[in-house]
Copies of this chain bind each other. A is one copy, B any other.
Amino acid sequence: MTDHQLCPKFEAAFEILGKRWTGLIIKSLLPGPRRFKDISEMIPGMSDRMLAERFKELEACGLIHRHVYPETPVRIEYELTEKGKALEPVMKEVQNWGESWVN
The interface of chain A, by Cβ under 8 A from chain B, is 3-14, 17-24, 27-28, 31, 38, 41-43, 83, 86-87, 89-102
Q: Are B12 and A102 in contact (CB under 8 A)?
A: yes
Q: Are A89 and B98 in contact (CB under 8 A)?
A: no
A84: nearest chain-B partner, CB-CB: B101
Contact of A20 among B19, B38, B89 (CB under 8 A): B19
| A18-B17, A93-B93, A97-B87 known; A27+B6 contact, CB < 8 A | yes
Question: How distant is the Cα of A3 from the Cα of B19 in the complex, in angstroms?
Answer: 23
Q: Are B18 and A22 in contact (CB under 8 A)?
A: yes
| A3-B31, A4-B42, A87-B97 known; A102+B9 contact, CB < 8 A | yes
| A24-B6, A24-B11, A24-B14 known; A89+B95 contact, CB < 8 A | no
